[in-house]
Structure 1
Amino acid sequence: MKLIKQSFDKNSSGFTTLMPQDKEDLWQLYNLIQKNDEIKLQTTRNVAKNATKGASKQERKNVVLTINVEDIDYAPEDEVMRIRGKTTVANEFVPIQSYHTAEIQLNKSITVIKTEWDEINYDIVVKSCSIESKAEIGAIVFEEGVAHLCLVTDNLTVLRNKIEKSIPKKRRGDNSSHDKGLVKFYDLIISTMMRNFNLDNLKVIILASPGFLSSNLLSEIKGFAQKNDDKTIFKNISKFVTANCSTGYLQGLEEVLKDENIRKNLADTQFAQEVIIFEKFQKLLNDDDETAWYGPKECERAIQEGAVKQLLITDTLFRNNDIELRKHFISLVEQVKQQGGEVYIFSSLHDSGNQLDQLTGIAVILKYSMDLYSDDEE
């Protein structure tokens, strides 16, 4: 994300002008923009051309819209985000209080105006504009005949491409057709990887498959680099790591990201830390030693007692249209930080964040055992 200008302080009104540069930035804007915020951006509209004597000819014009946000439409696989609402500023082409849907696009600036910039909003702007904080992982998860090429960031798992290719089956005493088909499959994966991955920007590229296929693919990648004198692959070959998983489909990626050896390569990414802390929470919950709890009431009681070692919370709770409820969860986060606890904000688009969402979206790991059941539940 490129920060163009801003004028706001925490817990006060103001604006920031940002330019999203990739899909990750759109996801950050999706978390930043809330209902009743104002958005100012340039877009195009059909306007009447020389509208005299009932003429109805129209032409496309560049216009600047200021919209009070009522609805946001965003899907991770898209490269645009749509915002709908009423205009708050009139111009010669657009009347005030008229409904419009506008697209936030990559490499086009947008101004976000809020009546109050809280702690979560402030952190989103700071982190999204820091290149160092956007560690990314490339992953190729595959088995014979099918491959999935993904990008994994702190907040998103994006499927960039899926490959399907028929490979002849092995025959007794003659595997030549199968082997040739497999080599062509590897070549297709490599060419697709080069189109979809920026190897220089990625920190790790995971090759994951059942059996020895991932090791074979790495050998093919090295062979491709030597044959074509590909300096990009030579320079980044140390980033490639192989891993074993039970399937070539996306479930295999979640398996791999929990692997201890892979985690060492991902140690500087926020995503890896979240996977580890969620597994720790699950283990403590299964141990039933009263140091792991989930649910708004239970977590709030633990925070009031100053007993929280680690707070796990999903970004879904901060996108709540109920402003008071959003402020309540922000207050809980700030209390834990003031008490010296750690806070992990999970993305609802990652598997661990999705699982936490199913457990009410908030959980805690305590410094010591406590019984947090409320009296009415008892």
Structure 2
Amino acid sequence: MKIMKQVLKEGKIVLKIETLDDLWHLYNTVSTNDIVISKTSRRVRIGDENSRKQESTRKTMVLKLKVEDVSFHNFSNRVRIKGVILEGPDDLVNIGSYHTINIETGDTLTIIKEHWPKFVLDRLKEATKSQIRPICLIVTIEDGTAELFLAADSGIQETVRIRMSISRKRGDQKSYDATMRDFFADTLLALQSQLEQYEFGLIVIAGPGFVKDHFKEFLIGAKIKDLPPVVVESTNSIGVPGAKEILYRGVISRAVTELKVETETRLVETLIEHISKDNGLGAYGNDEVFNAVQYGAVEELLITDKRLREGEENERRWMDSLIRNTEKTRGSFHIVSTEHPAGDQLQRLGGIGAILRFKIIQ
């Protein structure tokens, strides 16, 4: 992400979206009642209103919207911003009508807020530090089945699934070896397709048996140019459960720069462990967390992206104050994505929690 212009006195920031993770950061930046200005396209009717020969055509234009809804479409890699048109070409749009702007990588937009919370500014600053944040490709594999996943700031996303019938005729090792080579070749093609689309910091090959080790040998033997580091890990299963197991065990963070989703998972698990033990080092809900912040006891403050995004303006200001006071007492703040299981767990606890450095005695 690149900040092209920033005029906080006017509440204005101009952003250029450069990577897949930038879309996730944008989704958590734009809120209801914000003003967004961007180039977009809109279907309009050309010709005399009373004529039967009116034609419908799509025109490119710059529109200014008052935001009513923001959605993140991770499978189509775009953020959709819906709102009421405030400004646009008079001959092409009706002021006050609705429009949805689709933001994709490479797009530039202007965001105007009445108040820019510190945690939002910090998020944008962090996003600009690593314009190409490494993402990991997880390949879960066993005989005849392979599934490829992207692991990034926004969680895990399945991209490709490969299935093939493997010859298991007793005593016919040649047939088995031949079908496994075909299976590995198909999986390699799918993997190469992902390498062409994304810049990976790591490839993790995982599964319960020895197929993962054999596939690594096959992959290395293919001598792909600029192949990222490849590690092999044992898991109890393949598919989504196997990919989640990789995240929970911290495999990625030991091999490449720690991904945010792993950090969030570990923090939420630590919070829940403290709560279950009732040792006074875990707080959740508005009252408990606010009280802990007042005592300067918070070491890690956790708030879900959903809680931050969907709160009313006065609630967002309250949370912003909470974050600032936490950081004043050397505590850390984390936005936890609800796109992975740990984020869902925190959301069920009210969307806010804290790991404390000491027990509060009242």
Query: Normalised by the size of structure 1, how large is the TM-score?
Result: 0.87
Match of 2:170 in 1: 172
Query: d(CA) in 1 for partners of 2:86 and 2:174?
Result: 69
Match of 1:163, SS state, is strand
Match of 2:40, SS state, is strand
Is the alpha carbon distance of 1:307 and 1:117 closer, same or farther for their aligned partners in structure 2, counting shifts above 3 Å? same
For 1:180-329, list aligned pairs within 5 A: 180-198=178-196, 201-225=199-223, 230-233=224-227, 236=228, 239-259=229-249, 262-329=252-319
Q: Would you say the 8 A contact 2:301–2:334 is kept in 1?
A: yes
Match of 1:23 in 2: 20
Match of 1:375 in 2: none
Alignment partner of 1:14 is 2:11:
yes
Alignment partner of 1:101 is 2:100:
yes
Query: d(CA) in 2 for partners of 1:171 and 1:277?
Result: 48
Match of 1:83 in 2: 81
For 1:109-128, list aligned pairs within 5 A: 109-128=108-127
Is the alpha carbon distance of 1:355 and 1:181 closer, same or farther for their aligned partners in structure 2, counting shifts above 3 Å? farther
Query: d(CA) in 1 for partners of 2:99 and 2:299?
Result: 46
Is the alpha carbon distance of 1:362 and 1:60 closer, same or farther for their aligned partners in structure 2, counting shifts above 3 Å? closer
Q: Would you say the 8 A contact 1:136–1:203 is kept in 2?
A: yes
Aligned-residue offset at 1:31 = 0.6
Counterpart residue identity of residue 83, structure 1: I
Query: d(CA) in 1 for partners of 2:310 and 2:50?
Result: 49
* Offset from partner CA, 1:60-86 (integer Å, 9 cap, x none): 322211111112232221222222221
Counterpart residue identity of residue 115, structure 2: E
Stretches of structure 2 that go unaligned for 5 or more consecutive residues are: none
Query: d(CA) in 2 for partners of 1:321 and 1:341?
Result: 23
Q: Would you say the 8 A contact 2:148–2:158 is kept in 1?
A: yes
Match of 1:361 in 2: 351
Aligned-residue offset at 1:134 = 2.3
Query: d(CA) in 2 for partners of 1:93 and 1:155?
Result: 37
Match of 1:376 in 2: none
Aligned-residue offset at 1:271 = 3.2
Counterpart residue identity of residue 225, structure 2: K
Q: Would you say the 8 A contact 1:26–1:81 is kept in 2?
A: yes
Query: d(CA) in 1 for partners of 2:263 and 2:281?
Result: 19
Match of 2:138 in 1: 139
Aligned-residue offset at 1:30 = 0.8
Query: d(CA) in 1 for partners of 2:260 and 2:269?
Result: 14
Query: d(CA) in 1 for partners of 2:12 and 2:252?
Result: 41
Stretches of structure 1 that go unaligned for 5 or more consecutive residues are: 373-378
Query: Normalised by the size of structure 2, how large is the TM-score?
Result: 0.91
Is the alpha carbon distance of 1:90 and 1:44 closer, same or farther for their aligned partners in structure 2, counting shifts above 3 Å? closer
Q: Is 356-365 or 194-203 further displaced after alignment? A: 194-203
Match of 1:221, SS state, is helix
Query: d(CA) in 1 for partners of 2:274 and 2:58?
Result: 60
Q: Would you say the 8 A contact 1:2–1:129 is kept in 2?
A: yes
Identity in percent = 27
Counterpart residue identity of residue 343, structure 2: G
Q: Would you say the 8 A contact 2:164–2:183 is kept in 1?
A: yes
* Offset from partner CA, 1:192-236 (integer Å, 9 cap, x none): 1111125983222111111222211110111211xxxx3323xx3
Query: d(CA) in 1 for partners of 2:198 and 2:119?
Result: 31
Match of 2:226, SS state, is helix
Aligned-residue offset at 1:21 = 2.8
Aligned-residue offset at 1:261 = 5.5
Is the alpha carbon distance of 1:282 and 1:182 closer, same or farther for their aligned partners in structure 2, counting shifts above 3 Å? farther
Query: d(CA) in 1 for partners of 2:351 and 2:361?
Result: 20
Q: Would you say the 8 A contact 2:208–2:237 is kept in 1?
A: yes
Alignment partner of 1:45 is 2:42:
yes
Counterpart residue identity of residue 121, structure 1: V
Query: d(CA) in 1 for partners of 2:72 and 2:271?
Result: 30
Q: Would you say the 8 A contact 2:18–2:131 is kept in 1?
A: no
